Structure 1
Amino acid sequence: MLRGLTILGGCLLLAGCADLKMPQFGKRPSAPQSAISEPLPLPTPELSAPPPKPGARTAETLDTTTDEQRKAATAATVPAGGSLGKVVVTLGDPTTPGFWLRSSLVSAPVPGVIRTAGGVTVQVDLMPGEGAAQLSLAAFRAAGLSLTDLATVEVLKR
């Protein structure tokens, strides 16, 4: 009888482990979104820019957007698409060029706009992401945000 209860208890214990997400031996976990070296395709090419040159270390050399692109991005009006919500943004990968925001507010790339607490609007490509919302270096600079701030922005769909 005791042996039967021991076997039954072991089976129940193993059955409970079926819902756990255990890493499998020999398989490497997939890289988190922030560790992917190639950006996802952007839906608006006018907001993209070439990658920075090797050895770039300052905000000026890492941000490869042109003056015309910065002016066009900040000339955004509040779109009719509506607000997707507000997020606290951190600086995203500074070597990934262009105007973009990675957040969990979207599940696929779409054009959008961010609006700062001061009312500055910047056109961005909204990209899906997990965890903290990440804003591109170019968008941070165009919005007039300090690179060390954790700023709250409203995210709008274009």
Structure 2
Amino acid sequence: MNANRLVPILAASLALGACSQMMQQGTSAARNGAPLGTTAPEVTEDTPEAIRAAAAVTRAPAPRPSARATAAQLDTTTAEQRQAAATPATAAETRLGTTVASLGDATQPGFWIKTPLVNEAGVGRIVNPANGRSAQVDLLPLGGAASAGSQVSLPALQLLGISLTDLPTIEVYRL
């Protein structure tokens, strides 16, 4: 086999191995529906009903370790969750601003956005102003300037009607 064909195969193998190791290390976080390295907002008896309802929509189980790198296999949200996440919140919202969105870690389940527009985890909504579609999401802090971009979960981008390779500007709201 010539070297030009071997390099992509080795690169893919290393990437898959790293993903597998990251998924194994993050199993407990993934089981809780939280992206690795972040903590989803804690929901307690004292949490307002609107936020409890939104948090129930945004969480999903981790993809199976055998999942291929296809959107259909990595998106573990249910049809009911997608429908509920697409329904705008009935509680009052605060507009946090706009951000350039990119696909975050596609292996992390649920509806979430990692954004420098928040300093602490919470629940909110993101909107694609190009088509008006929205998604309820967990708001997760991401270091950097407020003008820096944000990472969005695969199911949330799909719900907004955004191609996984696009870099659109979206609106971010907190419940």
| Bigger mean CA deviation after superposition, 127-136 or 68-77 | 127-136
Q: Secondary structure at the match of 2:124?
A: strand
- Of the candidates 133, 141, 160, which is equivalent to residue 120 of structure 1? 133
Q: How far off its partner does 1:151 sit? A: 1.1
Contact 2:39 2:140 in 1 (8 A): no
Once the two structures are TM-superposed, the CA of residue 45 in structure 1 deviates from its matched residue by: 3.4
- Point out the structure with max Rg over C-alpha: 1
Residues 1:48 and 2:69 aligned together:
no
2:167 pairs with 1:147: no
Pick which of 37-46 and 100-109 moved more: 37-46
- In structure 2, distance between residues paired with 1:128 and 1:78: 24
Query: Within 2, Cα distance between the matches of 1:83 and 1:129?
Result: 17
Cα distance in 1 for residues equivalent to 2:171 and 2:90: 11
Residue by residue over 1:34-75, the C-alpha shift from the partner in whole angstroms, topping out at 9 and shown as x without a partner, is x89443332323311110011312000000000000000001
Asked if the contact 2:101/2:169 (under 8 Å) is kept, the reply is yes
* Deviation for aligned residue 1:136: 0.3
Amino acid aligned to 2:135: V
Give the number of the structure whose residues are more often helix, by fraction. Answer: 2
CA 1:78–1:150 in structure 2 vs 1: closer, same or farther (change >3 Å)?
Answer: farther
**TM-score, with normalisation over the residues of structure 1?**
0.72
Structure 1 segments of 4+ aligned residues over 3 angstroms from their partners: 35-38
CA–CA distance in 2 between the matches of 1:77 and 1:126? Answer: 14
- Residues 120-141 of structure 1 show CA distances to partners (whole Å, capped at 9, x for unaligned) of 1110010001253100001011
2:85 to 64, 73, 81: 73
Does the aligned pair in 2 maintain the 1:101–1:135 contact within 8 Å? yes
% identical aligned pairs: 44
Give the alignment's TM-score, normalised by structure 2.
0.66
- Is 1:97 the equivalent of 2:109? yes
Q: Gaps spanning 5+ residues in structure 1: where?
A: 1-34
Residues 95 and 173 of structure 2 are in contact (CA less than 8 Å); yes or no, is this contact kept in structure 1?
A: yes
The Cα of 1:81 is off from its aligned counterpart by: 2.3
Cα 1:78/1:130, change in 2 over 3 Å: farther
Structure 2 portions without partners, runs of 5+: 1-21, 30-34, 42-54
What amino acid sits opposite 2:105 in the alignment? D
**Counterpart of 2:74 in structure 1: which amino acid?**
L
| More divergent stretch after superposition (129-138 vs 37-46) | 37-46
Shift in Å at residue 119 of structure 1?
1.0
